[in-house]
Amino acid sequence: MIKEQENEVIEKDYFKDLQEIKEAIRTNQNKAMVIVNSTMIMTYYEIGTIINKRKIWGSKYIKNLANDLKEYGKGYSYENLYRMSKVSEEFSNEEIMSHPVTQIPWSTLVTVIMAKSSTHEEMLWYINETYKNGWSRSMVLNQIALKAYDSSLIEPTTSNITKSDDLTNELFKDTYVFDFLDKNNIKNEKDLKNQMIDNIIKFLQELGPGFTLAGKEYKLVTPTNKEFYIDLLMYHTKIHAYVVIEVKIGEFTPADLGQLVFYVNAINKLEKTDVDSNTIGLLLCKDADKFVAETTLENSLLKLGISKYKFIEELPEYLNRKLKSMKLNR
């Protein structure tokens, strides 16, 4: 008798849940198409919250729901209802509202970002970056393969210590970490440039969004037929400007800047068109003294930056261990 009463209570609660879920679906199905994805994920989050209230009922509960929700389409399969439960479990309501979770395509969110992230913080980072940069599913997969989140932990995104203005401060990092370079096979600047080009996709990823390669050892010919070669010439698609990059295997010295200034001015005169913004210069060096770099750039009228680079094995030991641990857990 008691068993029958318990079953009646469970059955009553089950149908109550089923009606709540159906009502949530009906309510949100009529929202404008422009916010379909956002509405859908909010609906899924709401459904996941309802499901998680009945965790003790086990997987049969979700299977029954999937069967009774068939009329609403494939989006309410057992697998997808299970994912809804996981999303509700993973993200708080505050995070759903304050982060662009609902702006990420559902499949990218659950089968890529959530499935391949090791920590909650990593998930939120990829969600924010995907939204900010407009990454497609394949681009997110590529960013994860390139360990974009791991690299973001290494240094602050920007620094105003060695940049001549706000634009270069925003555009360039203080320190770049090249985990794709073989330190032992770099004897000179040519070796460094060659390895960067051989790993151009990873190099562009480390530089940040918007950079495209215009040329390696880019040849400049002056009106007097003198020839010069720029280490790397980039073009930034978002700000529509050439970016001259010179690389040095040693510590920055003020003399290094003279060559960069010449190249920036030359590109402005010889290559820049009316649709291009003024050319930007970046000096990549192994190290840079803060005072020397700041003083060298002081009162510069050009858009210039001095950034350092590190090899992955030069990271602080604690962070190196952390990155290795994260890679092993994937």
As a whole number of angstroms, the distance between CA 124 and CA 95 comes to: 9
- Tell me which CATH code domain 166-316 carries: 3.40.1350.10
Question: C-alpha dihedral over 288, 269, 195, 132, to 10 degrees?
Answer: 80
Mean pLDDT over residues 65-82, rounded?
91
- Structure-token pair, residue 121: 């913080």
Higher pLDDT, 198 or 107: 107
Confidence of residue 160 (pLDDT cuts 50, 70, 90): very low
Would you state the pLDDT for residue 176?
A: 76
Looking at the chain, the domain(s) classified CATH 3.40.1350.10 span 166-316
Q: What is the pTM of this model?
A: 0.52
Confidence of residue 32 (pLDDT cuts 50, 70, 90): very low
Would you state the pLDDT for residue 270?
A: 94
Burial 38-57 (b: 16+ CB within 10 A, else e): bbbbbbbbbbbbbbeebeee
| Helices and strands (H, E) in the chain, number of each type | 16, 6
